Structures are given as structure tokens and as C-alpha cells.
Amino acid sequence: MKIDKICEITAAEIIQPIGRKDVDIRYAFAADLMSDTLFIIMRDDEPLLLITGVTNTSVVRTAIILDIPAIMIVRGKQVPEQTIELAKENEILVLRSSNIMFVTCGLLYQAGLEGSPWKIR
């Protein structure tokens, strides 16, 4: 699923547009604890959308480590400029939706986005 379609489905805006907008996202993972995100192993080398309410730089650092091309910030949270700048430097797209995480995940799942192919260690 392309980034523009993800934004359309979730009524999201792209707040940091420098990155791979043409990437085809097939999977998503949702968490507010970045430690939960870091404890997963990838089975496929498919691009992943990270859905979270975390807005500090740790979310971008997590995306860097796991090679995640796009982050969806939920609950309409404001994202600090420091986080946006780090995402820009690393070409990680940052999207923002006013929906809660549950609704965001449900909308994307209903539209065909799959749960992460990862498994817990």
C-alpha cells in the first residue's frame, strides 16, 4: 500500500515528507513502547509502517535500527522539531493521524494492510 493511500484511509497528513513515498507498505506494527518494537525479529524484508503515539526521537532511532521507512503518529500529537529533523536527516517519513491507535490499525487492516510478519524473540 502506497503512503498516499495510507494517508487517505487514515485521514493522515505527511508532516515530514523527505523519504521513500513510493515505497509499497505491506505490513504494520503498532506500539507505544519502543522496547517492544526492538524485541521483534523480521521474517520478510518487506517495508513496515510503525504506528505509535511516541513523538520523541526514540521513535526515529527505532525506525533507523529496524530500517522502517515510515512512522504514523496517532492521536493527533504534536511532534517536536528535533524528532522531525532526525527523521528528515534519515529520510524517514512521518505521518500524523488524529485517530486513536486502535482505529488507525483497524482502518488499515480493513483496507488490506497486514500485521507485521515478525515474531517475538
The pLDDT assigned to 41 comes to 52
How long is the chain? 121
How many CA within 13 A on the CB side of residue 119? Answer: 3
User: Do 116 and 28 contact (CB within 8 A), yes or no?
Assistant: yes
Interacting residues of 46 by C-beta distance below 8 A, sequence separation 6+? 26, 27, 117
The pLDDT assigned to 119 comes to 57
Mean of the per-residue pLDDT values for the chain? 89
The pLDDT assigned to 114 comes to 85
| pTM recorded for the entire structure | 0.90
The pLDDT assigned to 32 comes to 81
- Give the model confidence (pLDDT) of 28-63 as tens digits: 988 886 766 666 655 556 788 999 999 999 999 999
Domain total of the chain: 1
The pLDDT assigned to 66 comes to 86
The pLDDT assigned to 69 comes to 96
Range of the domain at 20: 3-120
Q: Write the CATH number for 68.
A: 3.40.1390.20
Low-confidence ranges of the chain (pLDDT < 50): 121
The pLDDT assigned to 86 comes to 98
Q: How far is CA 19 from the centre of its chain?
A: 13
